[in-house]
């Protein structure tokens, strides 16, 4: 199997007026199997029309009664195979947040799972759909308050789904202290 290198550079955030130095960034390189990335890319391309059809939606404006939307998300979760593992919840939600950031909130096991559930749910799709519905209701009910927190220039609060994500992260972090 051929391999390529994925390089990350993480910069510590500092106010613009402060000077940056090499010590402010951390770089590391990971060997990544090329076949895995190729499979990931193919899976997204295969579902591109369905993913593209979701562009018209925003989390706070999706109607609970929109059966077409619900059916699309339900089948997309089943059909968009992004990993070779049985667990696809985190990969699916984060990929969809990256592709459709105004609609999907990234779900993780550390914060979101602890916020909603005591343990890992058996049926990840059911979990995803339940959590999505909770986010949808919250975004709809608190649209104005959430919009006031959106800052397109920020790395953190670029859209309503990410604002909600950061609220949950802050809450769970504080609760675990």
108 pLDDT tier (thresholds 50, 70, 90): confident
Q: Give me the numbers of helices (H) and strands (E) for the chain, helices first please.
A: 8, 2
Are 115 and 142 in a shared domain? Answer: yes
69 and 102 co-located in one domain? yes
- Over residues 22-50, the mean pLDDT reads 68
The predicted structure's pLDDT at residue 34: 52
Domain match, 51 and 31 both: no
Q: Is 33 in the same domain as 69? A: no
Judge if 73 and 139 occupy the same domain.
Answer: yes
Which structural domain, as residue segments, surrounds residue 9? 1-38
Contact (Cβ atoms closer than 8 angstroms) between residue 146 and residue 139: yes
- Cα angle for residues 137, 108, 159 (degrees, 5° grid): 50
- E strand residue ranges, 12-167: 25-33
Largest Cα–Cα distance of the chain, in whole Å? 52
* pLDDT reported for residue 83: 77
For residues 29 and 97, membership in a common domain is answered with: no
Query: Average pLDDT of 97-109?
Result: 90
Distance CA 143, CA 137 (A): 10
Question: Do 73 and 109 share a domain, yes or no?
Answer: yes
Lowest mean per-residue pLDDT among 22-31, 75-84, 133-142, 168-177: 22-31
The answer on 135 and 79 residing in a single domain is yes
C-alpha R_g of the chain: 18
136 pLDDT band (50/70/90 cuts)? very high
What do you get for the CA distance between the two ends of the chain, in Å? 45
Do 33 and 51 lie in one domain? The reply is no
* Single pTM value for the model: 0.73
pLDDT-derived band at 5, boundaries 50, 70, 90? very low
Query: Do residues 71 and 6 both lie within one domain?
Result: no
DSSP-based three-state secondary structure for 25: strand
What Cα–Cα distance (Å) separates residue 151 from each residue in 57, 148, 155?
19, 8, 8
68's CB contacts (< 8 A; 6+ apart) are none
User: Number of structural domains, the chain?
Assistant: 2
Give the list of residues 6+ apart from residue 62 with CB closer than 8 angstroms, or none: 69, 103, 136, 140
Domain identity same for 55 and 16: no
Determine the pLDDT at residue 42: 86
Taking only the tens place, the pLDDT of each residue in 43-56 is 888 999 999 999 99
Average pLDDT over residues 119-145: 88
Question: Of 100 and 177, which is predicted with more confidence?
Answer: 100
Say yes or no: 28 and 115 in one domain.
Answer: no
């Amino acid at each position: 199997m051929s391999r390529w290198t994925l390089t990350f550079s993480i910069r510590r955030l500092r106010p613009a007026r402060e000077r940056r130095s090499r010590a402010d960034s951390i770089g590391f390189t990971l060997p990544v199997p090329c076949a895995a990335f190729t499979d990931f890319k193919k899976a997204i391309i295969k579902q591109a029309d369905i993913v593209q059809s979701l562009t018209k939606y925003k989390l706070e404006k999706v109607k609970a009664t929109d059966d077409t939307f619900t059916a699309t998300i339900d089948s997309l979760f089943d059909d968009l195979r992004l990993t070779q593992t049985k667990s696809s919840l985190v990969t699916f939600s984060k990929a969809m947040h990256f592709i459709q950031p105004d609609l999907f909130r990234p779900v993780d096991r550390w914060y979101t799972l602890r916020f909603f559930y005591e343990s890992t749910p058996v049926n990840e799709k059911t979990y995803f759909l339940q959590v999505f519905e909770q986010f949808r209701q919250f975004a709809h009910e608190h649209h104005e308050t959430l919009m006031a927190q959106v800052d397109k220039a920020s790395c953190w609060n670029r859209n309503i789904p990410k604002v909600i994500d950061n609220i949950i992260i802050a809450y769970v972090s504080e609760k675990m202290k």
